[in-house]
Structure 1
Amino acid sequence: MDLFEDSSATPVYHVTDTQHEFDNGADSETVMSEVSSCRTMSTLSSGEVTEYFRDRFGYTYLTDDNIPVVFPIDSLALRLDVLVHIIIRLCQGGSIVATAGHELLAQGGLGGNGAKVLDLVTNSGAWVQEMADIYPTTQFVSVDVKPLTAHTPHPRINYEVYDLYAGIAEPDASFDLVHARICVTLTKDYKFLIREMNRVLKPGGLLIISEIPSQAYEVEKPSEPLHSSPIRVKALGFMRAGLASQGVDLASWDEMSNRLSPGHPMWNNEKLDKKDQRNSSVRGFHNVTTYTHLIPNGPWPTDKDQRTLGALAKVLFEQTWRSLLPTLQMMGATQAEAQEFVDRLLEEVANPKYRSYAKYKLWCARKI
């Protein structure tokens, strides 16, 4: 099943002043400046914004200990999110949303009189702002645990910031579509978040989950975890261990389809008697479809589109590895030890002989 319709006529982003030719020598700062964007003031005061953040080892992180520490939250994080947005659109053949989502919104939602979409999480706002431009009859609620940036007010987008891990502050059965991008590392209880997404969806509503798991794979055998890049393998181990130690459910990436199914224990459907099941008290999702796209770690593929994707991914991955420096210090390494490891890691990453794939994964499912 093709989850994405052809949208080759729709540009992902247009850079007005500079045309950047991606190659092995692509400068990450140049690329990052090209994908950044400006926003106007939000309704949060500067004093309120600063309360969300704290300094750790010279980097900015969230103050809320209930949210796993993954990457620093700064202006670079904003630009990287826009870059991730572009990478995901390329993985989806240029589409901003899966075909099922497009068809649902184009027909005005489940009732045909205008759809309502929940976006998790806002980050740069790139996805929700583009969606609002494309679907003029759709209302959006975009939620985040942090005020990463100020957003231009939009009459059909309601931006909210709150402790999402405690629950989605929306009524039952109130959304036609829930879009959740890279949320596994956002919470220490991803199963609860999935149940919350199910709760706020209308019966028959569409759930779209997209993730880029913290894992890499061999080029010759993409089903096989990476082992031919020794420093990067160790770095991935550090990253995953750090996430797991904070309660991040790393198994979610591999078990997602099973967890969405009503037969999974997380839904407690086995406790329902036959009468409850006939009355549609069963929780979970059906019509679960999956989509995976390989992301090269550099511009080495012969295919033009994959080469472009690899050039962008190279920038993203390099910046990701640089942010490992404070993470290693949090795990007990001295600054000198952490810097020495990151330097060796970046040296290996820059070596074109070390090739690998990451994977973009997407799941679409309908609420029962």
Structure 2
Amino acid sequence: MAGAATSAGDLEFPEEEIALDPLCDEDSGSDYGTGSSEYSTDSLTSSIYEYRFENGRRYHAYKEGKYLLPNDEAEQERLDILHHIYVLLYKDKLHLAPVEEPQRILDIGTGTGIWAIDIAEKYPNAEVIGTDLSPIQPSWVPPNVQFQIDDAEADWTFARNSFDLVHIRHLNGAIKDWPKLIKEAFRCIKPGGWIELAEYELFLHSDDNTLPKDSSLYKYYDLCNQAATKLGREFIIAANLKPIILEAGFECATHQTMKVPFGTWPADKLQKEMGAYLYMTAEEGFAAFGMALLTRVMEMEVEEVNALIAQAKIDAKSRKIHSYSRQHIYYAQKPICSDDEEEGY
């Protein structure tokens, strides 16, 4: 454990209260619309392919319904913005696990493939494989990258002890059996190799109680969490993955909790920038998360969901609400002297 902590010793993320920009409470105008602001939207700016369309959004067709977020162009842009937020959060790093010169890397739930492409460029001698339910990845990629259509919840077909790093990010809400998923990763990671997971709570927090429970913004997140829990895909698991990682056989497990502000209310420039990007994702993100969950699970009418989202967006523009998202980052090592074959994994 101590070795893992010192390997990433230059990156410490204490969960401190985010300092407030005193100008934000003037609320004389939003930073988020079009205009001259540094943080305005303007300035930040086979059957597998038979996609399912519902309520104006496109969803994957392969194993239809397993992943409730859309895969259309608007969602792909949102995912790429989230990747940029993580690069800022990690201080220009692509991973926190202390892996060195990996030869094979697996990215589960690769989405647009942006992390897989970036990591392939960082490690040009490594083979990088990205898997996803949706074939939305680009065709022109570095020569050491390949993408495969696959279901992370099915039995993995990769060979035992074949990867130096398995990367999993934002599968929260898509996975029912996390212990199985992490055991599959353990089986496929080489002795001495690493797993890294980045997951989020689908909820906003506020340290100064400026997010009222009667607001549409709070209600939106609360209803989405209720829906996910009904499906057995609760987002609260993000904060509780460390015991599952250790139970799978990993050691040197590290769990870091990081805050990403929602909006430009913080005083710190980096936090303000991350907050601006996170707000940008809300324009499409509210519908991306809410539409399927609230119509399919909570049986709300489309018009009702749209009205809730519209009000939540109004709340989100207020710089008097000092909210943030909580991200959970885990990395752990497979023991160098692992007998996972004898243990039946």
Q: TM-score range by the shorter chain?
A: 0.7 to 0.9
What is the RMSD of the two structures over their aligned residues, measured on CA atoms? 2.5
C-alpha distance in 1, partners of 2:227/2:180? 21
1:224-235 maps to which residues of 2 (within 5 A)? 227-228=212-213, 230-235=215-220
Deviation, structure 1 residue 246? 2.3
Q: Which residue pairs with 1:77 in the alignment?
A: 75
Q: Look up the equivalent residue of 2:84 and give its one-letter code.
A: I
- Return the offset for 1:335: 2.7
Unmatched segments (≥5 aa) in structure 2: 12-29, 35-39, 336-345
1:290/1:364 contact within 8 Å kept: yes
Aligned match of 1:17: none
Normalising by structure 2, we get a TM-score of 0.80
**Residues 1:24 and 2:31 are matched in the alignment:** yes
Counterpart AA for 1:24: D
Q: Quick check: 1:329 aligned with 2:336?
A: no
The answer to whether residue 305 in structure 2 is matched with residue 305 in structure 1 is no
Of stretches 173-182 and 183-192 in structure 1, the one that deviates more from structure 2 is 183-192
**Equivalences for residues 176-325 of structure 1 within 5 A:** 176-220=164-208, 227-228=212-213, 230-262=215-247, 283-323=248-288, 324-325=290-291
Question: What residue ranges of structure 1 are gaps of 5+ in the alignment?
Answer: 7-22, 35-46, 110-114, 263-282
Contact 1:285 1:366 in 2 (8 A): yes
Which residue pairs with 1:12 in the alignment? Answer: none
Give the direction of change, closer, same or farther, for the CA distance of 1:364–1:125 in structure 2 (3 Å limit). same
2:21 is matched with which residue?
Answer: none
Q: Work out the CA distance in 2 between the residues paired with 1:152 and 1:299.
A: 35
What residue is the counterpart of 1:270 in the other structure? none
Q: CA deviation at 1:66?
A: 6.4
Task: Work out whether residues 172 and 199 of structure 1, in 8 Å CA contact, stay in contact via their aligned partners in 2.
Answer: yes
What is the aligned length?
305
SS in structure 2 of the partner of residue 100 of structure 1? coil
Q: CA deviation at 1:4?
A: 7.0
Contact 1:140 1:157 in 2 (8 A): yes
1:10-65 residue CA offsets vs partner (Å, 9 max, x unmatched): xxxxxxxxxxxxx7134476367x4xxxxxxxxxxxx54423x2122232122355
Indicate the SS of the match to 1:154. Answer: coil
Q: Tell me, in whole angstroms, the C-alpha distance in 2 between the residues paired with 1:65 and 1:99.
A: 32
- Scaled by the length of structure 1, the TM-score of the pair is 0.76
Aligned partner of 2:115: which letter?
Answer: W
For residues 76-106 of structure 1, the C-alpha deviation after alignment (integer angstroms, 9 at most, x for no partner) is 11111110100011111121121503xx22x
Residue 317 of structure 2: which of 331, 346, 350 is its match? 350
SS in 2 for 1:340: helix
Whole-Å separation in 1 of the counterparts to 2:276 and 2:236: 29
**Paired residue for 2:306?**
339
* 1:50 aligned residue: 49
Whether 1:359 and 2:326 are equivalent positions in the alignment is yes
- Alpha carbons 2:97, 2:331 under 8 Å: kept: no
d(CA) in 2 for partners of 1:60, 1:4: 42
Provide closer, same or farther for how the CA distance between residues 56 and 210 of structure 1 changes in structure 2, counting only shifts above 3 A. same
1:67: Cα distance to partner? 4.8
Alignment of 1:116-135 (within 5 A): 116-135=104-123
Q: Secondary structure at the match of 2:68?
A: coil
Task: Kindly provide the amino acid, as one letter, of the partner of residue 50 in structure 1.
Answer: Y
Please state whether the residue corresponding to 1:332 is helix, strand or coil: coil
In structure 2, distance between residues paired with 1:169 and 1:123: 19
Residue of structure 2 aligned with 1:145, choices 133, 144, 150: 133
Quote the offset at 1:320 in angstroms: 1.4
Percent sequence identity over matched residues?
Answer: 22
Q: The residue matched to 2:244 in structure 1 has which SS?
A: helix
Partner Cα distance (1:66, 1:187) in 2:
14
Superposed displacement of residue 182, structure 1: 1.0
Q: Deviations over 1:126-179 (max 9, x none)?
A: 111111111122111111111123331432112111222212220111111111
